[in-house]
C-alpha cells in the first residue's frame, strides 16, 4: 500500500529533476563562459605573462617569488615566457626584463635633469645629488662623462656584496689554474715585489677582465628593480605609469652578447663589451655609487692574496655546485658546509685552511 502511494510521487520527482538538470547545465556553461570572458579581459595585455584567471595567476606568481627568491623566480619566468614578460607581486603588475639598451635611456634622463635645472624658478627646489654633480660640471670641476658615470653608480655599494664577490672569485680561480697563472704573471710584470700603487690600477687589464668575467658568470647582485614614473613603451610593449620593473641583468649577462655566455672564460672580455650589455653595478641615477672604489678594492685584494698564496678548494667543490640563497642578492648557503678553501703560501709547503 505504501509503495503504491509513493510510486506516483517518485515519478513526479523524477520528472522535476529531468527538467532542472538541463537548466543547471546551461547555468554552468554560462558561468564558465563568463569566467573565461573575465579571464581574457584581465589578460588583454600584449606582454607575455602567465594567465590571470580570476587572480589565481597573480597569487601563484606572488608565492613563487616568496618561495624561490627574487633572483631565481626572475630566471624561471624569463625562461618560461621570454626576455620581456610580466608577473604580479603583491597584487602589483611587475615587468621582468633581461634585455634593454640602457645607456641611452640613462643619458636621456640626465639631459631632462639638466633642462629642469635650467628652467627651475628656484634652484633649491630641485637640489639633489645629481644637481650637485651637474653644477660641478658647470664650474669645470667635472666632465659630462664624469657626471654620467657618477649618476650611473648610485645604487648599491656595501662590504657584504664586495666580500661575497671576492669569495666567488677565489673559488673560480681555484677551478681555473690557467687564469690564476695569467693573473700572477701580470702582477709580477706590472708590480713586481713593491707595494701596489694607485697608478697600477689601469695597467692590471687581466685582473680587471677576470673581475668582470667573475661578476658576469657568478654575480652577487643579479637584478635591478625600478618603477615606471610615467607611461612608456619598451621594446614595443606599452608600460603603464606605476608599473614595477625588474631588470634581470644576471640572465642578460648569459645571453648572446658574449662569445661564450655559459662558460667562465676571459675570452668573453677579450674585446670591449658594449656598455649596454654589461651592467654588473646597475645603471641609471640609482646605480652603484661605489663602482670605482669597489673595483680598486677588488684589484688590491686579489693582488695581495694571489701574490702571497695559491688558492685551492677541496675536491669537487666549485661555484657551480655551491648551494646559494638568491633573494635581493646572492649569497652562499653557510649551512651547507661546502665553503672551505685552502691557501697555500707561495714558495712554501705550508698551507692554511679557511
Residue ranges for the known binding site are 288
Q: Is 272 helix (H, G, I), strand (E, B) or coil?
A: coil
C-alpha cell of residue 206: 687581466
Residue 342 host element (H or E): strand 342-345
* Helices then strands, each counted (H, E), the chain: 11, 11
C-alpha cell of residue 218: 657568478
Q: What is the DSSP string of 203-219?
A: G-HHHHHHHHHHHHHS-
C-alpha cell of residue 59: 597569487
Structural contact between residues 214 and 179, judged by C-beta atoms closer than 8 angstroms: no
Q: Is 309 helix (H, G, I), strand (E, B) or coil?
A: strand
b/e per residue 83-112 (b: at least 16 CB within 10 A)? bbbbbbbeeebbbbbbbbebbeebeeebee
Known binding residues for heme? 288
Residue among 71, 72, 64 at smallest CA distance from 89? 64
Q: Using CA atoms, how far apart are residues 340 and 318, in angstroms rounded to an integer? A: 10
Q: Using CA atoms, how far apart are residues 312 and 161, in angstroms rounded to an integer? A: 22
Q: Using CA atoms, how far apart are residues 134 and 102, in angstroms rounded to an integer? A: 20
| Inter-axis angle of helices 177-190 and 205-217, nearest 10 | 150
Residue with cell 674585446: 271
Amino acid at each position: 500500500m505504501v509503495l503504491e502511494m509513493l510510486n506516483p510521487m517518485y515519478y513526479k520527482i523524477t520528472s522535476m529533476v529531468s527538467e532542472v538538470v538541463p537548466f543547471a547545465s546551461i547555468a554552468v556553461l554560462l558561468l564558465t563562459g563568463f569566467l573565461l570572458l573575465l579571464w581574457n579581459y584581465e589578460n588583454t595585455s600584449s606582454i607575455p605573462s602567465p594567465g590571470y584567471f580570476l587572480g589565481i595567476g597573480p597569487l601563484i606568481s606572488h608565492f613563487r617569488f616568496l618561495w624561490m627568491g627574487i633572483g631565481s623566480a626572475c630566471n624561471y619566468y624569463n625562461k618560461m615566457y621570454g626576455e620581456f614578460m610580466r608577473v604580479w607581486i603583491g597584487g602589483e603588475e611587475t615587468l621582468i626584463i633581461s634585455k634593454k639598451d640602457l645607456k641611452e635611456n640613462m643619458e636621456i634622463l640626465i639631459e631632462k635633469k639638466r633642462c629642469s635645472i635650467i628652467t627651475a624658478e628656484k634652484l633649491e627646489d630641485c637640489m639633489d645629488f645629481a644637481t650637485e654633480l651637474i653644477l660641478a660640471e658647470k664650474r669645470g670641476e667635472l666632465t659630462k662623462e664624469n657626471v654620467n658615470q657618477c649618476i650611473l653608480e648610485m645604487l648599491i655599494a656595501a662590504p657584504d656584496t664586495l666580500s661575497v664577490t671576492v669569495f666567488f672569485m677565489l673559488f673560480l680561480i681555484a677551478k681555473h689554474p690557467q687564469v690564476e697563472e695569467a693573473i700572477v704573471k701580470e702582477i709580477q710584470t706590472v708590480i713586481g715585489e713593491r707595494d701596489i700603487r694607485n697608478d697600477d690600477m689601469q695597467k692590471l687589464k687581466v685582473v680587471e677582465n677576470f673581475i668582470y668575467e667573475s661578476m658576469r658568470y657568478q654575480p652577487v647582485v643579479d637584478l635591478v628593480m625600478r618603477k615606471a614614473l610615467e607611461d612608456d613603451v619598451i621594446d614595443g610593449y606599452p608600460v603603464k605609469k606605476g608599473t614595477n620593473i625588474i631588470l634581470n641583468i644576471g640572465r642578460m649577462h648569459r645571453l648572446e652578447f658574449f662569445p661564450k655566455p655559459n662558460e667562465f672564460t676571459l675570452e668573453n672580455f677579450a674585446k670591449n663589451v658594449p656598455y649596454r650589455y654589461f651592467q654588473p653595478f646597475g645603471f641609471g641615477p640609482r646605480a652603484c655609487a661605489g663602482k670605482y672604489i669597489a673595483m680598486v678594492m677588488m684589484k688590491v685584494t686579489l693582488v695581495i692574496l694571489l701574490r702571497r698564496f695559491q688558492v685551492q678548494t677541496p675536491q669537487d667543490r666549485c661555484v657551480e655546485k655551491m648551494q646559494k640563497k638568491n633573494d635581493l642578492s646572492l649569497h652562499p648557503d653557510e649551512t651547507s658546509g661546502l665553503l672551505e678553501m685552502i691557501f697555500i703560501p707561495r714558495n712554501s709547503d705550508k698551507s692554511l685552511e679557511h
